[in-house]
Structure 1
Amino acid sequence: MPGGRPRAFDTDAALDRALEVFWRQGYEGASLSDLTAAMGINRPSIYAAFGNKEELFVKALERYVSGPGAFAAEALDAPTVREVVERLVHGAIELTTRTDAPVGCLMVNSVHACGPDAASARDAALACRMAGETALRRRFEDAPDLPDGYDAGTLAGLVHTITDGIAVQAAGGRTRDELRRVADLALRTLLP
């Protein structure tokens, strides 16, 4: 026996629009009215397809990691430590300064702009960020070309600090060219 009426909307397209609202306005800044208007569906449809606002946010984070933020996982396949770091830093610049998407980084914005009532959304964003840093640390641990004297965990933390800084600066209005100049200097200093 069928399980009810089929959905009258494209769940992938609706999730993409919710992602953009969260990215632009943050978790707390995104009201259910904003989300329903952007997604083109009503509240009962959001709850039926995605769960509550927090569950929708977690799905949007997952979509962000596998969509606009996919460069980070792809960078881990670069053949050298230097190329991994370059791809992450330059990818962060490209992502956070796009003209066809909100500026900044969804995860960085979410971690820094959530109050006590949104602790679970903040924790979800932190968990995504930490998963990325853990994957980077493991990549460095396995690297035969990790420079002498470099600790894989510390280097992974430093690279994430740089990419987070890029996101904050992009959200504050720094241009792509300005960020590239800063990144080039950081890369020359970090991995001479």
Structure 2
Amino acid sequence: MAGVRQFDEDSAFAQALEVFWRKGFRATSMLDLAEATGVQRGSLYNAYGDKEEIFVRVFERYAERFIASARQALKKPDVRDALTAFFTFAIGSIMQGTPARGCLSTKTASEIDPDSPRLREALQNMLDELEAALLSVLDTPEARTRLAIPAAQAAKLVVTMTRGIAVMERVYGDTKALKQTASALVDALVPKV
């Protein structure tokens, strides 16, 4: 039947995600995606057009799950506990795999072409949603009384720190140091009483 996909999109996207994570956007070819997914290149082209479209669709699904998990980690009654749980989640996420997979969004951001507005937009959407998740926890009456800086600045700082942590993991691979750095930021943002 024309127009009906003859493959399981969820499974194909899960396999494509692993390829993009391992090789990066730029180094991944349509042949890599076809081999990983078990879907012929022609079928991938017919269904999605090009590699960028596949990546954007895969990344949006990944980002949705990541943000949901970040929101779950932030569900703590105390703002310090929420930030600590968030950083534990974020560090755990980039340390997954053997060797550690790192951070897909940071990896992609470092290699996107300025002429790739769709990739930039996908990354911006994820980071904006992550910032909004943090702001929902930091911009409460209780949290605002404890924060050393305004909630919006704190949310931006935390998102920026997660990108820096991802880079430091790639360079040093030291989980203990990453946790100590995150803990120092929590202490600076929400001083102990």
TM-score, normalised via structure 1 length: 0.84
**Residue type of the partner of 1:170?**
E
1:62–1:120 distance in 2 versus 1, CA, 3 Å: closer
Question: What residue is the counterpart of 2:72 in the other structure?
Answer: 74
Shift of 1:19: 1.0
Question: What residue is the counterpart of 1:191 in the other structure?
Answer: 190
Question: What residue is the counterpart of 1:118 in the other structure?
Answer: 116
Question: What residue is the counterpart of 1:162 in the other structure?
Answer: 161
**Residue type of the partner of 2:166?**
A
Q: Does 1:127 align with 2:125?
A: yes
Of 6, 22, 40, which residue of structure 2 is paired with 1:42? 40
Question: What residue is the counterpart of 1:108 in the other structure?
Answer: 106
1:116–1:80 distance in 2 versus 1, CA, 3 Å: same
Question: What residue is the counterpart of 2:31 in the other structure?
Answer: 33
Question: What residue is the counterpart of 2:54 in the other structure?
Answer: 56
**Residue type of the partner of 2:170?**
A
Question: What residue is the counterpart of 2:90 in the other structure?
Answer: 92
TM-score, normalised via structure 2 length: 0.84
Question: What residue is the counterpart of 1:151 in the other structure?
Answer: 150
Distance in structure 2 (CA, Å) of the matches to 1:28 and 1:118:
11
2:21–2:104 contact (8 Å) kept in structure 1? yes
Q: Does 1:176 align with 2:178?
A: no
Percent identity, aligned pairs only? 34
**Residue type of the partner of 1:21?**
V
Higher mean alpha-carbon deviation, 146-155 vs 135-144, is at 135-144
Structure 1 ranges of 4+ moved more than 6 A? none
RMSD: 2.4
Shift of 1:26: 2.2
Unmatched segments (≥5 aa) in structure 2: none
Unmatched segments (≥5 aa) in structure 1: none
Question: What residue is the counterpart of 2:11 in the other structure?
Answer: 13
1:24–1:117 distance in 2 versus 1, CA, 3 Å: farther
1:148–1:118 distance in 2 versus 1, CA, 3 Å: closer
Distance in structure 1 (CA, Å) of the matches to 2:132 and 2:179:
25
1:141–1:69 distance in 2 versus 1, CA, 3 Å: closer
